[in-house]
């Protein structure tokens, strides 16, 4: 059961990451594209890679692919980094809703990850 939950959660979070960045881009809500283009481009590349890995890893888990769990673990590590690092930006801009969202997602991610790892041992 936890494998299915982890797979679905991974896909939903990956798709949500892509959707969030597309929304920010198309609404002109990434001012760093003009002020810090190199930094934000590399940040976006890392976010895109994380999102794609979450989607593919989640699919691999659901389909019981041999590589699915390894990609899920790798992408979840990248996600955990993102959810620890990203709230700082939103704290500085006063957007506490995003900070709360990241905190909740981090807790859910850790609970699912720990349960998946316990099931495997």
For 76-89, what is each residue's pLDDT tens digit? 999 999 999 999 98
The residues spanned by each domain of the chain are 2-120
Average pLDDT, the chain: 95
Question: Token pair for residue 54?
Answer: 């979450």
Question: Token pair for residue 71?
Answer: 């990609």
pTM (2 d.p.): 0.93
What pLDDT, on the 0 to 100 scale, is given for residue 81?
Answer: 96
% of the chain at pLDDT higher than 70: 98
* Count of H-run helices and E-run strands, the chain: 6, 0
What pLDDT, on the 0 to 100 scale, is given for residue 121?
Answer: 62
Alpha carbons 106 and 79: distance in angstroms, whole number: 8
* Residue of 61, 51, 58, 57 lying closest to 16 (CA atoms): 51
């Amino acid at each position: 059961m936890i494998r299915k939950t982890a797979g679905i959660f991974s896909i939903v979070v990956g798709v949500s990451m892509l959707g969030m960045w597309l929304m920010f881009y198309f609404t002109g809500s990434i001012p760093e594209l003009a002020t810090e283009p190199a930094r934000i481009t590399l940040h976006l590349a890392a976010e895109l890679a994380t999102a794609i890995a979450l989607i593919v890893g989640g699919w691999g888990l659901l389909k019981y692919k041999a590589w699915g769990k390894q990609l899920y673990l790798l992408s979840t590590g990248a996600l955990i980094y993102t959810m620890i690092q990203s709230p700082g930006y939103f704290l500085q801009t006063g957007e506490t809703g995003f900070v709360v969202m990241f905190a909740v997602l981090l807790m859910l991610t850790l609970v699912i990850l720990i349960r998946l790892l316990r099931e495997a041992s």
